[in-house]
Amino acid sequence: MLIINCPYCGEREQEEFSCGGEAHIERPKNPPDLNDDQWADYLFLRQNIKGLQYERWNHSFGCRQWFNVARNTATDEILAVYKMGEKPPALESNNPITPCGEPAIGSGNFSTSKK
Amino acid sequence: MIKRSKKYSVFSLVKNALSYHENWQPAWRNPEIKKEYDAIIVGGGGHGLTTAYYLAKNHGIKNIAVVEKGWIGGGNTGRNTTIIRSNYLWDQSAAIYDHALKLWEGMSQELNYNVMFSQRGVMNVAHNLHDVRELKRRWHANRLNGVDCEWLNTKEVKKFCPVINTSPNIRYPVLGATLQRRAGTARHDAVAWGYARGADAMGVDIIQNCEVTEININNGNVTGIETTRGTIKSKKIGVVCAGHSSVIAKMAGIKLPLESRPLQALVSEPVKPVIDTVVMSNTIHAYVSQSDKGELVIGAGTDGYNSYSQRGGFNIVEDTIMAIVELFPLFSRMKMLRHWGGIVDICPDASPIISKTHINGLYFNCGWGTGGFKATPGSGWVFAHTIANDQPHALNAPFSINRFSSGELVDEHGAAAVAH
Ligand SMILES: Cc1cc2nc3c(=O)[nH]c(=O)nc-3n(C[C@H](O)[C@H](O)[C@H](O)COP(=O)(O)OP(=O)(O)OC[C@H]3O[C@@H](n4cnc5c(N)ncnc54)[C@H](O)[C@@H]3O)c2cc1C
Ligand SMILES: [Zn+2]
């Protein structure tokens, strides 16, 4: 289980939070002008990154505030927590060596990344 | 070249017993990688292997490589709880899952490999009025689609599965269940191995420990792949990478509507036969069956965030076990022996994507999420057709990637029972 540092309440267990998915997706400014592909992109298509990902979380069983988290989805390490409206911080992260390789910590299949 | 074991039979068993089982031949080759293939399948899970098998068998394309980053079946194919059923709500889903179920029924004979397919029935249990209405609706929909399904009342549920707690005094009482008798379980590893052996016998190269790192595209046409073991050329590439689909898609500049999440399962210590069917409950999220070794096989839910770490949160396991213990109080003191996670590719409408892309020769088969094991043979069947003919089979036409633009979603979220 993740331990998440809520910017308003401090460290709490992940069970108190819900994840709101990829961060920094902006609602289109001109909805009537969008074609179907652009709507699909906004509504459904996601980066679903293996490695450093910026995502939104809500402290749903706490202060109920939204905030952003930078997390490495290959290792589950949380690298930064920052408030809504702030720009994503530039970060170094322990991304897999090959795009689909497994990191040194994480899961069982090291077949391609453990040199 | 290594000699391959030919047909398995009672005679080959006796013959090999005489030499203390030391002379069995490998079930498939460990081939040299060729420079070019007529088709490359990326991902050696069940769906990738069946795709290669049916490309060779149904479409005569035999110069194929299946490229797998780890070992075949090491992804979700070897991590799932093996529930096979076809009682989906919508016509499109019922058609493709029931096609798969029919292939399961003949699989061991066809492959000359025992996949231990056991039609022990799957019960989907209702705990409140809404469940009863939804499940009865599905029961009728299934029957209209020619998919076998029955409705059991509480007494009949108890008769069919005596160890289930049907007391009216529990928090979520059993109000009835649907039963699909043709549904059941199979041995997941054997499915991967059986199809690998079958494909290999027709000339398919199965290449393990080889990760695809780039997709080569020239003028909108796919030309091959870069791997951790060098370049391989091909004009047709089928990607069947489950949880890693978005990562591969990105190599081709494609964005998919998928989110990859951990899904966990666990097995208990082995005990004598106690439950001879599969019980699933959507509302309290529990599902359980018993393996031939005697272990209870229990599946949990997905974690609520994206991750590729192949492990999930303990709270998810705890929720599942609470539900299991309420439905089966006699399991409360059993010890759990093993526990693991797989990364499932969740699609917004809980239906798969089996589709061409805007790049010529590049095809994707993904989005099976928490429930694709049951579809393994059917998925390969229609994906092979799509790759061979450069157009979908009637059964997978509704599962095109374009449905996210057109809005023609096949929403199986509520309807797919507990979604596995
Ligand atoms: C815990 C759990 C329980 C489940 N229970 C059920 C169930 O009861 N019933 C059911 O029907 N379904 C169930 N499922 C879902 C089912 O397991 C999957 O939908 C199905 O097995 C997917 O098969 P696949 O061949 O597409 O994927 P996989 O078996 O995951 O194969 C994909 C392969 O692609 C490989 N790969 C990834 N990236 C690369 C690369 N860059 N280069 C080369 N290879 C690569 C991976 O190593 C992997 O072997 C469950 C899943 C889990 C995790
Ligand atoms: Zn808080």
> Do A23 and A76 meet the contact criterion of CB atoms below 8 Å apart?
no
Structure tokens at A15: 């069970």
The rounded Å distance from CA B257 to ligand 2 centre is: 30
> Does pLDDT of B311 surpass 90?
no
Name B217's bridge partners.
B222
* Closest CA–CA distance from residue B183 to any residue of chain A (Å): 32
pLDDT of B112 strictly over 60: yes
Tens-digit pLDDT profile for residues B278-292: 999 988 888 999 999
pLDDT at B105: 98
Distance CA(B86)–CA(B95), nearest Å, equals 8
How far, in Å, from the CA of B322 to the mean position of ligand 1? 27
Q: At what angle do helices B91-111 and B188-201 cross, to 10 degrees?
A: 70
Nearest CA-CA distance, residue A110 and chain B, Å: 8
Gyration radius from chain A CA atoms: 16
Say yes or no to pLDDT of B198 above 90: yes
Statement: residue B124 has pLDDT above 90: yes
Phi-psi domain of B315 (left: phi exceeds 0; alpha: psi -120 through 50; beta: other) = alpha
A14 near B CB under 8 A: yes
The tens digit of pLDDT for each residue in B218-263 reads 999 999 999 999 999 999 999 999 999 999 999 999 999 999 999 9
Helices B46-59/B376-389 angle, 10° precision? 50
What per-residue confidence (pLDDT) applies to A53? 96
A107 touches chain B (CB under 8 A): yes
pTM across the whole model: 0.96
Is the pLDDT at B1 greater than 80? The verdict is: no
Residue numbers of A between 24 and 83 with CB closer than 8 Å to B: 36-37, 39-41, 43-50, 53, 55, 71, 73-76
Binning pLDDT at 50, 70 and 90, where does residue B420 land? low
Least confident of B144-158, B305-319, B381-395: B305-319
Cβ–Cβ under 8 Å, residues B348 and B393: no
SS3 assignment, position B212 = strand
Structure tokens at B272: 């004598």
- Is the pLDDT at A115 greater than 70? The verdict is no
Q: Nearest residue of A to residue B253 by CA position?
A: A47
For residue B56, what are the CA distances in angstroms to B38, B204, B240, B314, B371?
A: 11, 8, 17, 43, 26
Q: What is the mean pLDDT of chain B?
A: 95
Q: What is the pLDDT of residue B149?
A: 97
All domains of chain A, ordered by start, with CATH? 3-104 (3.30.2270.10)
Q: How many CB pairs under 8 A join A and B?
A: 115
- Let me know: does B179 contact B150? Beta carbons within 8 Å: yes
Average pLDDT of span A93-103:
86
**Helix (H) or strand (E) run with residue B189 in it:** helix B188-201
Q: Is the pLDDT of residue A75 over 50?
A: yes
- The DSSP 8-state label assigned to residue B399 in this structure reads G
Decide: B420 and B388 in contact? Cβ < 8 Å: no
Which chain B residues touch A46 with a CB distance below 8 Å? Answer: 246, 255-259
pLDDT of residue B35: 98
End-to-end, the C-alpha distance of chain B in Å comes to: 41
User: Nearest CB to B405: which of A36, A53, A73?
Assistant: A36
Q: Mean of the pLDDT values across residues B355-382?
A: 98
Determine the distance from the C-alpha atom of residue A98 to the mean position of all C-alpha atoms in its chain, rounded to a whole number: 20
| CA separation, residue B222 to residues B40, B157, B219 (Å) | 11, 53, 8
Closest residue by Cα to residue B70 from B79, B57, B62:
B79
pLDDT for position B168: 95
Q: Does A108 touch chain B (CB under 8 A)?
A: yes
Q: Where are the alpha helices (DSSP H) in B5-153?
A: 10-18, 46-59, 91-111, 129-144
> In this model, does residue A91 exceed pLDDT 80?
yes
For position B187, what pLDDT does the model report? 97
Residues of chain A in contact with residue B248, where contact means CB-CB under 8 angstroms, are 99-100
Identify the residue with better confidence: A82 or A104: A82
pLDDT band at A94 (very low <50, low <70, confident <90, very high): confident
In Å, how far is A29's CA from the nearest CA of chain B? 19
Q: Cβ contacts (< 8 Å) between A55 and chain B: which residues?
A: 305-306
Q: What is the pLDDT of residues B403-413, one digit of tens each?
A: 999 999 999 98
pLDDT for residue B5:
56
B406 Cα distance to chain centroid: 27
Angle value at C-alpha B154, between B150 and B158, nearest 5 degrees:
95
Predicted pLDDT of residue B413 = 80
Exposure string of A47-60, with b = 16+ CB inside 10 Å and e = fewer, is bbbbbbbbbbbbbe
pLDDT band at B414 (very low <50, low <70, confident <90, very high): low
Ligand 1, atom 31: closest residue by C-alpha: B45
pLDDT at B210 over 90: yes
Instruction: Give the ligand whose atoms come closest to the C-alpha of residue A7.
Output: 2
pLDDT digits (tens, 9 = 90+) for B125-165: 999 999 999 999 999 999 999 999 999 999 999 999 999 99
Q: How confident is the model at residue A111 (pLDDT cuts 50, 70, 90)?
A: very low
Which of B308, B343, B366, B404 best tests the A interface by mutation, with the highest count of A CBs <10 A?
A: B308
CB within 6 Å of ligand 1 — which residues? A 100; B 42-48, 67-70, 74-77, 79-83, 211-212, 240-242, 244, 248, 263-265, 299, 342, 344, 368, 370-374, 420
